[in-house]
Amino acid sequence: MAEKPFFPIYLDVSQKKLVLIGPMPRTGRAAQQIAGYCEEVIVIVPPKEKDGRTDASAAAPLPSNVKFFCKQYDRDDLYSADMVFCFSEDEEINRDVYAACKCLGIAVYIDSNKYKRDFYLQPKGVQTDGRTENKNAAAFEQQAGSAANTDKKNTPAGENQVRRENGQRTAALLNVRMYTDGSARGNPDGPGGYGTILEFTDSDGNLHRREYSRGYRKTTNNRMELMAAIAGFRQLKVPCNVEVYSDSKYLIDAFNRHWIDNWKKNNWQHTVNGRKEPVRNQDLWNQLLEALNGHTVSFRWVKGHNGHPQNERCDELAVSAACSEELRDEDTAV
């Protein structure tokens, strides 16, 4: 199985079986994006949501571990699932899926354009498949039956609530801390590497952490500092509130002192010793701007080699990557 992306709703779930419910082509696109991170994906397109593109051939090309069904959604489809994504435009289906997953202890993500909903429920406690003891059957039926009349404001804690500002739909963003560092041996134009740490604390107070690193044959320290940030943002699959911590003034000041705004305004030119010169590493600055698009980002400088745990760890990752035998050329993907 491929490495899981840093997407908070994946973190607490064993990715064996995912169920996607909703119209094509949205469910098909979602299946293609997540099939590499789990063993089995079930796509269910309810008949009432047919749009002329819901037969099996229209879903192609789907990965081999994706099974496609155009049929009426049934709660039995959820029993063996590890996670459920529901993109239905039918509010009755959304409410029923949410209530069923809540009772069965299955993580569920609801996203409905029509009903302006976008929230996530990470169940607490041990998950059950709803069949072994069946002791929750009564509660299941009661919650599922009353779900259609439940007001949104009474939904349980743990879901990603939706704010409304000026009548617009604004999902509450997830808070992520990103720590980055870059290293280059024989700087400039020697081997180098980057290290990145992403941290997220869920609603139960549990810390989730991911580390990323990669080494390159010929690079500079500044390029590795930028690549560390680019790599971190590319792991975020939903909009987030991101705090970036780095010991690189080159990275932090570019945003906090608005250098990058001036560079863009001046067509990526800046003044050096009274002369206009091209801004270095424009290719990576553009990649970084694209990667952080859609996120709410703040940049914080930390003093390097000063005992900051995550900064020290990022330095270890970067140095180790630079010394690795598996170095890449910079024209390969970050």
Among the residue ranges 145-149, 232-236, 307-311, the one predicted with the least confidence is 145-149
The answer, yes or no, to whether residue 145 has pLDDT greater than 60, is no
Q: Which pairing describes strands 240-246 and 117-121: parallel, antiparallel, or unpaired? A: unpaired
Structure-token match 């975020």, residue found: 236
- Residue numbers annotated as active site: 181-182, 225, 247, 305, 315
Please give the torsion angle defined by the CA atoms of residues 109, 111, 116 and 118, in that order, rounded to the nearest 10 degrees: 40
Express each pLDDT in 205-226 by its tens digit.
Answer: 778 888 999 999 999 999 999 9
Express each pLDDT in 165-203 by its tens digit.
Answer: 333 333 356 789 999 999 999 888 899 999 999 998 866
For residues 97 and 108, the answer to whether their CB atoms sit within 8 Å is yes
The answer, yes or no, to whether residue 229 has pLDDT greater than 90, is yes
C-alpha distance from residue 55 to each of 33, 59, 70 (Å): 19, 7, 7
Please give the CATH superfamily to which domain 8-162 belongs.
Answer: NAD(P)-binding Rossmann-like Domain (3.40.50.720)
**What is the third-level CATH fold of 174-322?**
Nucleotidyltransferase; domain 5 (3.30.420)
Query: Which part of the chain has CATH 3.40.50.720?
Result: 8-162
The answer, yes or no, to whether residue 16 has pLDDT greater than 80, is no
Query: Which part of the chain has CATH 3.30.420.10?
Result: 174-322
Residue 108: per-residue pLDDT: 79
Contacts of 284 (CB under 8 A, 6+ apart): 223, 226, 227, 230
Q: Quote the Cα angle for 130-125-40, to 5°.
A: 55
The answer, yes or no, to whether residue 231 has pLDDT greater than 90, is yes
Tell me the C-alpha distance between 59 and 53, whole Å: 8
pTM of the model: 0.55
